[in-house]
Amino acid sequence: MSGVRDGDRTGVWRRTRDARRHTMAALASAVVAAGAATGVMTAAGDDGRTTARPDTSASPVLQPLPAVPTRSVSPSASVTPSPSPKPSRTARRTPAPATSSERPAPSAARPTALYRHPQSQVLDWVGAHRDDPRRPLIESRIAAVWFPAYNPGAVTGQVRSVTAAAEAVGRTPVLVPYAIPDRDCGGASEGGAPGLDAYDAWMEDFAAGLGGGPVIVILEPDAIALSDCLTAGRRADRFASLARAGRTLHAANPRARVYFDGGHSGWHAAAKQAALLREAGAAADGDGVFTNVSNFHSTADETAYARGVLAALGGPPGLGAVVDTSRNGNGAPAAGEWCDPSGRALGRAPTTDTGLTGIDAYLWVKLPGESDGCKGSAGSFTPDYAYELASG
């Protein structure tokens, strides 16, 4: 079901409006109840690829992006900056790996109240459409905050605006840095930093905004699973940079939980993905893996797959997995269907209390309602799509 179009005032709409509102009210109650159970007022093809990555040619303020940073965390520049001279590798400030005494014991297994930033594409739309019959259901969401722009000099303050607000209310934010060079292998969401030296410096700026409270970092979706477009040498350089990112984030905030890209159950075999993760430092410099970001595979399939990846990764103890459940309520669509496929639904509500050993959290990393590029422009918030997922 596509939902009711904005501005539709036809007789058919009027005749069905009351029935739709009744249905949506019941659905909204269920979603809000699920959010309350997590301690949160929620906002939130298979061709082997995750989808709906941001178009970085324009500012998130002007052009909507997937799980876009809020206005307070969005860069003000309207275009991606031109590459600046690459800093010398010897001049990089990347810290040494954190020692065991610097990092507390893993704590993600304990239930954590997740944080919803008070502004987002969803809430912008909600504020402007208070009378829309889809609003009650669409309003009930929780999602991660993405940082898709290469914006040296600005990202520290953007990250800190989120983490400081989360600390103030005793909740845990979910942050998604997404600026790796050669992002999306030149696909629809290409972009990122101009080079790995620049990326390393950007990541140091990102980490400087983490503060001292608990935080979950979903490190660079697709950066590992979708790395086969790179030569062996460039892939090794990327993986070394991801390992440095893990060390940088932990050194800046020992309470950060950093998860590396695990792809999803319909992509690489668990053993292959684990081998890639090991090369990228996930075992030594991360706290585990994330799977299913922007995809649709069932929670049962993903938890089994994630456990397989962790087992093949071989430790150390305490590594866990995060599963994106934002659009997997009805499982995966037919093979080859990845762009806003019909018949999908919201999955399990976000929580860090999964009841499963090794599965640290179910999160809505991909913001429900943001298009893969078929129901709207890639990354744009589409009310009809949000309603379809919420009522599916």
* Phi, psi at 307, each rounded to 5°: -65, -35
* Cα dist from 84 to 87, 203, 220, whole Å: 9, 15, 22
Is position 205 annotated as part of the catalytic site? no
Token code pair at residue 46: 């298979």
Rg of the chain over all Cα atoms, to the nearest angstrom: 20
User: Tokens 């709906």, residue?
Assistant: 52
Q: Tell me which of 222, 285, 287, 360 is the catalytic residue.
A: 222
Contacts with 196 (C-beta within 8 Å, 6 or more apart), sequence order: 181, 237, 238, 241
Beta bridge partners of 328: 345
Q: Which of 184, 301, 340, 384 is catalytic?
A: 184
**Cα–Cα distance, 190 to 286 (Å, whole number):** 25
The reply to whether 222 belongs to the active site is: yes
Catalytic residue status for 372: yes
Q: 142: Cβ–Cβ under 8 A, 6 or more apart, which residues?
A: 35, 38, 40, 42, 43, 44, 114, 116, 349, 350, 364
Between strands 215-218 and 145-147, the pairing is unpaired
Under 8 Å between Cβ of 121 and 370: yes
Give catalytic residues, as residue numbers: 184, 222, 372
